[in-house]
Amino acid sequence: MKPSVNFRRFLLLFFLLNGLNGVHKIWSSFAPANVYRKDFINGYLLGQGLVKGVDPYQPMDALARQFAFNSPTRIFPHPTPHTVPCGLLIALLSGWGYERAAQLWLVFELLCLLAALVLLVRWWGTPAVLKWVALCGWALCGWGPLTEDLWVGQLNALLLLLLLLSWRSLRAGHELSGGALLGGALVLKLMAWPVVLFLLWQRRWRSVLAAGSVTLAGHLLALAWIGVEGVKRYYTEVGPTVTALYRGFDANFSAWTVGWRLFVGTEASFARGLVAPPLIAWPAAARLFTLLVPCLVLALGLALARRVKDFDVAFALLLCVSLLVNPVAWSHYLVIALLPLAVVWRYLRELDFPMALTRYTLLVTLVCSLPHSIIRNVAALFQTSVTATGSPVVPFAAGLLTLATAAALIALMFLLRRVEAHATEEVAPVMPAFQQQVSVAS
């Protein structure tokens, strides 16, 4: 069932107005009251530390004081989890000063987004003319995850471009370039490694070797810059410290947080967030489920990817898994989910938008588009009290609402599997009839 002309016009108007709202929000991030609230400040300070030869993985507020970096807002009291190559990339902009560097980083991210959109529009089957790319880019500026990503100055548009280029190369059989681009994404953020496991299972050795080589080169760069002890500290202290701080935070939808929420509770951490009691107070079970749930999600994703025949669907599935099994997952990470959403909507278009699947996909897309602040505000409607720091206390069930994004990604994985199976079912009944006609003719 194709959407009516009036409905399509309504959607166009909505996307244009929503894009305008997103552009306004992104622009407001450079206001004096907001520019120092960006996550970009962490990458900037990391780059400064790397260039100036000081410990780059000391707490961000301590690093800021060391550089006499006067921020009117609070800086995170923990080390940044950004990698050394990521810090060196941002350090290329450090000569312009923080505020100008943040502006240049936004321009760079927008260029990455436009390049990613060119790839997606071409794959979708629409000529990649300027008007279509500009329209999609404008509309996406109002998409919750991308608006947040560009507001805080993260690097997910760059990661999206690298993963799209890798997917494009791998689906065309260009193993070395596809693997190298995947390795480039891994060097910047250790997230898409489930794709490497799938390529390993498919025995695509050249792509796995290329991804491993680029990842190794990134680690050798880190070793050369901060030494063995620095790299060891990054993995044994920095990563676990940041993970522990946010494992019970309501904005973190990672699979690693499920066990903690079930058996310890949702915590506000040092940032203001929801507080919810556990289902059962059982810390030992929390430690077990903290490891078990991500393993189950990984096993589920790999099993689904092995059952599909379309590489596009398998790659999209594993990007969903990659988001969920990262120890910390914020809503702006969902920029990477743009590819899985595009794959499932293209299948629906080819299937002429079957009613049930289209409704489910609309719901999943809506949940993946919501800023976490909206989900948090809905959960806060069930507030029972307030902590001394002003964090709302909600019942356990209300706290689970903040895992809606994780549930939507799990549902998206099954939708990807289902639309491919549905497309196969649409084609399969035609074959026996065709074969029968051939036999009669002979």
| 191-234 tens-digit pLDDT | 999 999 999 999 999 999 999 999 999 999 999 999 999 999 99
Q: Is the pLDDT of residue 440 over 60?
A: no
Q: CA–CA separation, 297 vs 294, rounded Å?
A: 5
Residue 292 vs residues 58, 107, 253, 258, 325: alpha-carbon distances, Å: 31, 41, 16, 10, 11
- pLDDT at position 431: 38
- pLDDT tens readout for residues 75-109: 888 899 999 999 999 999 988 889 999 999 999 99
Yes or no: say if 283 and 403 are a contact pair by the CB < 8 Å rule.
no
DSSP string, 259-294: HHHHHT-BB-TTS---BB--SS--HHHHHHHHHHHH
- For residue 393, give the 3-state DSSP assignment: strand
Of the listed ranges 21-25, 52-56, 327-331, the one predicted with least confidence: 52-56
Instruction: Tell me how far the alpha carbon of residue 308 is from its chain's centroid.
Output: 22
Q: Which residue has the higher pLDDT, 394 or 435?
A: 394
Q: Is 249 helix (H, G, I), strand (E, B) or coil?
A: strand
Give the pair of three-digit tokens for residue 2: 């194709």
Structure tokens at 45: 């300070």
Mean pLDDT for all residues in the chain: 90
Average pLDDT over residues 389-408: 94
**Per-residue pLDDT at 3 exceeds 70:** no
Helix (H) or strand (E) holding 257: none
Give the C-alpha separation, 343 to 320, whole Å. Answer: 12
Residue 8 pLDDT exceeds 90 = no
pLDDT cut 70: percent of the chain above it: 95
Give 249's strand partners: 267
Q: What DSSP character marks residue 106?
A: H
Average pLDDT score over residue span 110-137: 86
Helix (H) or strand (E) holding 145, with range, is helix 144-152
Q: What is the pLDDT of residue 264?
A: 95
> pLDDT digits over 363-382, tens only?
999 999 999 999 999 999 99
**158-198 pLDDT, tens per residue?**
999 999 999 999 999 999 999 999 999 999 999 999 999 99
Residue 426: pLDDT band by 50, 70, 90 thresholds? Answer: low
B/e letters for 327-355, b = 16+ CB within 10 Å, e = fewer, are: bbbbbbbbbbbbbbbbbbbbbbeeeeeee
Distance between CA atoms of 430 and 401, rounded to whole angstroms?
A: 44
How confident is residue 435, by pLDDT bands cut at 50, 70 and 90?
Answer: very low
Q: Over the stretch 309-336, which tens digit does the pLDDT of each residue have?
A: 999 999 999 999 999 999 999 999 999 9
Mean pLDDT of all residues in 60-89 = 86
Residue 1's pLDDT is 56
Residue 434's pLDDT band, with cuts at 50, 70 and 90, is very low
71 pLDDT above the threshold of 90 = no
Residue 399 Cα distances to 90, 104, 281, 409, angstroms: 36, 38, 15, 18
- Look up the pTM and report it: 0.92
pLDDT band with cut points at 50, 70 and 90 for residue 438? very low
Flag whether pLDDT at 349 surpasses 80: yes
